[in-house]
Amino acid sequence: MSEIIIDTYLCSGCATCVEMCPDVFRMDEVTEKAELVTVSPVITDEVHQAAAYCPEKCIEIIE
């Protein structure tokens, strides 16, 4: 099963992933870190791009 893991310790809250993939990522308004919109999102090319553009490299995709 594929999975997306966000290392919230490293996440800087820049929201790049949210801008690139708002169906998959959103900001946790309390912690100001990224979180997943759904537990098992479909991993599209856009998700891979968001992971690549994450400045902290804290989005891990397991397929």
Q: Does 35 bind ligand SF4 (CB under 6 A)?
A: no
Smallest separation, CB 23 to ligand SF4 (Å): 14
What is the closest distance, in whole angstroms, from the C-beta atom of residue 45 to ligand SF4 in the complex?
16
Distance CA 63, CA 59 (A): 13
Contact between 14 and ligand SF4 by CB under 6 A: the answer reads yes
Structure token digits, residue 7: 């290392």
| Residues with Cβ within 8 Å of residue 20, at least 6 apart in sequence | 46, 49, 50, 53
For position 61 contacting ligand SF4 by CB under 6 A, the verdict is no
24 forms part of the interface with ligand SF4 (CB under 6 A): no
